[in-house]
A and B are shown apart, each in its own frame.
Chain A
Amino acid sequence: MVASHQETDHVALAAWSVSKSFGAVQALTKVGIDVQPGRVHALVGENGAGKSTLAKILAGIQPADSGQLLLNDREVEISGRAHAKSLGINMVPQQLSLVHDLSLVDNLLLASPRLRARRSDARAALSRTLDSAGVQVDIDAPTGRLGLAHRQLGEIVVALAEGARLLILDEPTASLGPHEVGGLFAHLRALCAQGTAILLITHRVDEVLTVADDVTVLSHGHQVFTGPTEGLDANRIAHLMVGELPEAIARAPRERGDAVLTLTEVDAVSDVDSDLQQVSLEVRRGEIVGVAGVAGSGQNLLAEVAVGIAPTQAGEVVRAGSTASDASGALAAGVAWIPDHRADAVVPGMSVGENLTVYAASVDPAPRARVRTRFSGRRAQAVAAQAAVLTEYDVRPHDPTLAAGNLSGGNQQKLLVARELDAAWSAESPASLVVANGPTQGMDLRASQAIRARLVTAAERGAGVLVASHDLDELLDIADRVVVLVGGRIADDIPADEATAARIGRAMSGLARAGANS
């Protein structure tokens, strides 16, 4: 189970003409890939392009319908996950697989075939791996207490300690901030220098150019490109991924109205995020305010304060003229909420249609005026109208009678967006304030673009929009100004015409001038 780092250990894995279908859906059609030791190979494509399917086939999690795999130029049948691991191939899934309550040591022991838990052996193996990879992570703390970036590294370290010589990383950067991504990539390059082969699955074009040596592009289950990244530029890769690029969002000047969200010297505490200190912020109708910050700088808490989920210790919060301090008061004032965990706001046991209309169905008559359902009338009519909304927001399948828990994660996110920006409100009085926290997390280019366009539309209809995101490009794309949180304080407030990734990044690391928001 212990990795030694000799040249002979190197693993090169190639796939030829691999096909795979699920029922009527052809997920992969004659796809090939060649992952070489000492190189980072990026696998890119939209959601549903077949990236994960190909990765699971390589990692032995799913069998291919046809095609062959070559391990160090010899044909190989991978019979399962455990077999792949014994060959030195290991995959770190996107949602991470460390058991929260157990330490890295115990997580490593979890898959051990021995009955006795030999902790000292496991600890020694992990320490060796940590040393050789140049990583520092607490191996005895429950992994749930580690920060996201450390958990990500811990995951890689456990895989290496299990003997991985070829690592498949599925969207490892999805929830990391820019600094953490940089750190992770540095570690990946260091592993490559020792001869590890890395297959990096991503849908972010910039990452491909930053870290990868080779790239394979999948589109609708077909391999549309494979080769070195040298000489490629971002536009070319994006074009390969999605064909015609989605239209860039037009920046039309919007009318600014009254303030719909005013925070005055707000303090709030949280134990999973930085405490907010003396935060003052105003969002006006028609305005899109971006929130940037290193993960855990208070952006989650700020979003929760804005929608009234988190209580404040001091200061004043006014939403659309209402000082109601609770979440239901905020709802009545027309505040839409897209939380960073979609599971928080989608009820899996209720049908998709019930999820769309949950506000109208659960709020007592008095404040209902605002959240009146648009799906009145006979049941068949209501179902048809809901199906139309689902189609409009590309929620698949568009069947309102289905339990929401049966939808895939991406489609649940679209469902959430459809409700918060659209279905929840009556046509006469749309949302007054939209609070979106990482609204495009884990979504592909096209879906992300669609959601960003919806946020812009909401602002055009007169809503104030507060959007927090780890994706700086997203903020630069749509925000009229970007406030930067550092340790729960507003460190900078940058208008769109002055905002650049470099300036925001500098502010995020605490280098901005103080008191910029006063």
Chain B
Amino acid sequence: MSAATLRRLTTIIAVVLGSFVAAGALIALSGANPLVGLQGFVEGIVASPYRFGELLVGAVPIGIVALTLIPALRAGIFSIGAEGQVAIGALASGAVMLSLGDGVPAPVHWLLGALAGALGGAICALLPAFLLERWGVNEILSTLLLNYIAAGFLAFSLRTYLGTEENVATPQSDPLPESAELPALIPQTRAHVGVLLVIVIAVAFAWWRRTASATRIAVFAERPAFARRLGVSRARTIYRTMLVSGLGAGLVGYLQLAGLNSRLYTSVTGGVGFSGIAVALLGALLPAGIVVSALLFSALTVGAAGIQSATGSIPSSIADVIKAVILLGIAGAMGATSRREARRAAQLPREDPEPPDGRPDASAGENAAIGQLGERGTS
């Protein structure tokens, strides 16, 4: 492990600990005992195999969404449409599995369900890609608006053609065929095969990072004109990277449906799309970083329920506060690191006292890729 990696790790651990201290202070200010809160947090995660399974299962959707967002974010395309893509993915796979019915063997259900989910998400991602490529429609905004439209379409479907005929309060589908449900991977938990899938996808992206395609996308993000010399076309980059994120989010829709819920509800996305983006950024677009961040976010969600029941007064939304503080802390620490590097560069001996060209905080590697996002803003 190099000194730089070590320093990075220490910073990250310091930020996480710091946010816990801040959360403790918030709990104390709210009139509860922070130590009881901490105990509740830990127990919320490890009290039973089921709780621990919840940690894993919660990390799956945000992990997959975040991992498959790597190419798009690396290219400087800031899609926040995962939420809608998850919804459409779940809808498509639900429709397929329900229409296949009980008579079909489980593997066929798994395969076709997953395929339908991924395709649904992909279609939902290609529309904003087309709008961006063709007319320069800002992808942040188009994907955002499509999230609402997708949610409306899901609700409509569950109230009409996909809705159950049972008398229920909220729109929902009939239960999935039993053979369609994903079996638990670990007994006594809800942890399903998605847990393994995260690892597979993470390894795949770790490999991809070293390919020519990843370098081309990194060049495209910073110097689109120069990227043409490397054979990069803007259109192809937009379509491909958005397609990958759509496939991933659609697959997540399938996993949430077949792995966790026996019926399709309007709440199937549960905010995993937005969390996925935060996790991708928190993990600095590095596969390993994303897996760790996804586990951290999931642990906070699961543990916060423990805090709430242990203290009896602290709302579980404290999890969101901690997540935000960690995200802020890491963003600040990464920014400070690249500034330090720029300053180090400026102090290296050179004869001409010309200042560096370009932005002072430009820096190599992942930080720069993220730094890139802000610059485009809403051009």
- Nearest CB in chain A to that of B352: its residue: A48
Q: How far is the CA of A345 from the CA of B229 in the complex (A)?
A: 9
Q: How far is the CA of A52 from the CA of B372 in the complex (A)?
A: 31
- Asked if A148 CB lies within 8 Å of chain B CBs, one says no
Within 8 A of B (CB), among A10-26: 22-25
In the bound complex, residues from chain B placing their C-beta under 8 Å from that of A427 are none
- Asked if B326 CB lies within 8 Å of chain A CBs, one says no
In the bound complex, residues from chain A placing their C-beta under 8 Å from that of B350 are 25, 396-397, 408, 411
- Asked if B347 CB lies within 8 Å of chain A CBs, one says yes
Q: What is the distance, in angstroms, from A59's C-beta to the closest C-beta of chain B? A: 16
- Asked if B377 CB lies within 8 Å of chain A CBs, one says no
Proximity bits, B338-355, A CB within 8 Å = 1, else 0: 000110011111111111
Given contacts A349-B369, A399-B348, contact A309 B353 (CB under 8 A): no
In the bound complex, residues from chain A placing their C-beta under 8 Å from that of B371 are 349
A27 touches B222 (CB 8 A): no
Q: Interface stretch among B197-205, B210-218, B290-298?
A: B210-218
Contact of B354 among A47, A326, A402, A405 (CB under 8 A): A47
Given contacts A344-B225, A363-B231, A403-B341, contact A409 B354 (CB under 8 A): yes
- Nearest CB in chain A to that of B228: its residue: A327
Within 8 A of A (CB), among B308-360: 341-342, 345-359
- Asked if A107 CB lies within 8 Å of chain B CBs, one says no
Q: How far is the CA of A377 from the CA of B348 in the complex (A)?
A: 27
Q: How far is the CA of A413 from the CA of B221 in the complex (A)?
A: 21
- Nearest CB in chain B to that of A22: its residue: B353
- Nearest CB in chain B to that of A353: its residue: B364
- Nearest CB in chain B to that of A360: its residue: B212
Contact of A362 among B215, B363, B364 (CB under 8 A): B215
Contact of B356 among A47, A308, A406 (CB under 8 A): A406
B212 touches A349 (CB 8 A): no
Contact of B352 among A349, A403, A410 (CB under 8 A): A410
- Asked if A36 CB lies within 8 Å of chain B CBs, one says no
- Nearest CB in chain A to that of B218: its residue: A350
Q: How far is the CA of A337 from the CA of B351 in the complex (A)?
A: 28
A309 touches B341 (CB 8 A): no
Proximity bits, A379-411, B CB within 8 Å = 1, else 0: 000000000000000001101011101111111
A407 touches B357 (CB 8 A): yes
- Asked if A9 CB lies within 8 Å of chain B CBs, one says no
Contact of B230 among A363, A405, A410 (CB under 8 A): A363
Q: What is the distance, in angstroms, from B253's C-beta to the closest C-beta of chain A? A: 33
Q: Which of B341, B347, B353, B355 has the most CB of A within 10 A?
A: B353
- Asked if B95 CB lies within 8 Å of chain A CBs, one says no
Q: How far is the CA of A47 from the CA of B357 in the complex (A)?
A: 15
A362 touches B356 (CB 8 A): no
B351 touches A363 (CB 8 A): no
B357 touches A405 (CB 8 A): yes
B231 touches A403 (CB 8 A): no
- Asked if A358 CB lies within 8 Å of chain B CBs, one says yes
Within 8 A of B (CB), among A45-76: 47-48, 50, 52-53
B353 touches A27 (CB 8 A): yes
- Interface residue count for A (Cβ, 8 Å)? 50
A345 touches B352 (CB 8 A): no
A327 touches B359 (CB 8 A): no
- Asked if B362 CB lies within 8 Å of chain A CBs, one says yes
Q: How far is the CA of A337 from the CA of B230 in the complex (A)?
A: 12
B347 touches A23 (CB 8 A): yes
Q: How far is the CA of A20 from the CA of B358 in the complex (A)?
A: 24
- Asked if A314 CB lies within 8 Å of chain B CBs, one says no
- Asked if A103 CB lies within 8 Å of chain B CBs, one says no
Given contacts A331-B230, A405-B358, contact A347 B353 (CB under 8 A): no
- Nearest CB in chain A to that of B226: its residue: A345
- Asked if A472 CB lies within 8 Å of chain B CBs, one says no
Q: What is the distance, in angstroms, from B173's C-beta to the closest C-beta of chain A? A: 45
Q: How far is the CA of A362 from the CA of B213 in the complex (A)?
A: 6
- Nearest CB in chain B to that of A444: its residue: B352
B226 touches A25 (CB 8 A): no
Contact of B351 among A23, A396, A405 (CB under 8 A): A396
Proximity bits, A338-380, B CB within 8 Å = 1, else 0: 0000011111111100100011011110000000000000000
A309 touches B225 (CB 8 A): yes
A347 touches B345 (CB 8 A): no
B230 touches A403 (CB 8 A): no
In the bound complex, residues from chain B placing their C-beta under 8 Å from that of A350 are 218-219, 222, 364, 368
- Nearest CB in chain B to that of A367: its residue: B231
Give me 17 A-to-B residue pairs in the complex whose CB atoms sit less than 8 angstroms apart, sorted by A's number. A22-B353, A25-B353, A47-B352, A308-B229, A331-B230, A331-B231, A345-B229, A347-B218, A348-B357, A349-B221, A358-B230, A362-B216, A364-B212, A397-B350, A403-B363, A407-B357, A411-B350
A→B interface (CB under 8 Å) = 22-25, 27, 47-48, 50, 52-53, 220, 307-309, 326-328, 330-331, 337, 343-351, 354, 358-359, 361-364, 396-397, 399, 401-403, 405-412
Closest 7 pairs between A and B when the two form their complex, measured CB to CB: A349-B368, A48-B352, A328-B231, A405-B362, A406-B345, A408-B354, A362-B215
